[in-house]
């Protein structure tokens, strides 16, 4: 699975320590990322989560066809003001079906 910042799929980013920039405490900011299933398998029973309690998954696909595309939406609600970007690891679990 690949993840991109833009619809054109020219800015690939890592699921490891996703950088969401600086968000002030009390504000809510939503982010959209573009997913591509770059495998030959259909992905089912997908589940997306983060390791940062201030970053929540608000919308994600449950299934992705081989070479399919979809959108992952995250919401960031920081508890305190930080002078550094908010980062989160994105974990994906699911099953592959071939054939």
Q: What is the pTM of this model?
A: 0.88
Q: 42-87, pLDDT tens digit by residue?
A: 999 999 999 999 899 999 999 999 999 999 999 998 877 666 788 8
In angstroms, the CA 64 to CA 42 distance is: 6
Largest Cα separation within the chain, whole Å, is: 49
CATH of the domain at 88: 2.60.40.10
Structural domain boundaries enclosing 63: 2-97
Number of domains composing the chain: 1
- Residue 7 burial by Cβ neighbours in a 10 Å radius (0-12, 13-18, 19+): exposed
- Residue 64 burial by Cβ neighbours in a 10 Å radius (0-12, 13-18, 19+): buried
pLDDT in the model for residue 79: 76
Q: 9-45, pLDDT tens digit by residue?
A: 999 998 887 888 888 777 889 999 999 999 999 999 9
């Amino acid at each position: 699975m690949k993840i991109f910042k833009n619809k054109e799929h020219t800015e690939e980013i890592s699921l490891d320590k996703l950088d969401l920039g600086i968000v002030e405490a009390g504000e809510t900011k939503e982010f959209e990322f573009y997913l591509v299933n770059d495998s030959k398998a259909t992905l089912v029973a997908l589940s997306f989560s983060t390791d940062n309690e201030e970053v929540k998954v608000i919308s994600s696909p449950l299934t992705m066809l081989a070479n399919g595309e979809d959108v992952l939406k995250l919401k960031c609600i920081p508890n305190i003001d930080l002078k550094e970007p908010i980062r989160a690891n994105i974990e994906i679990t699911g099953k592959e079906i071939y054939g």
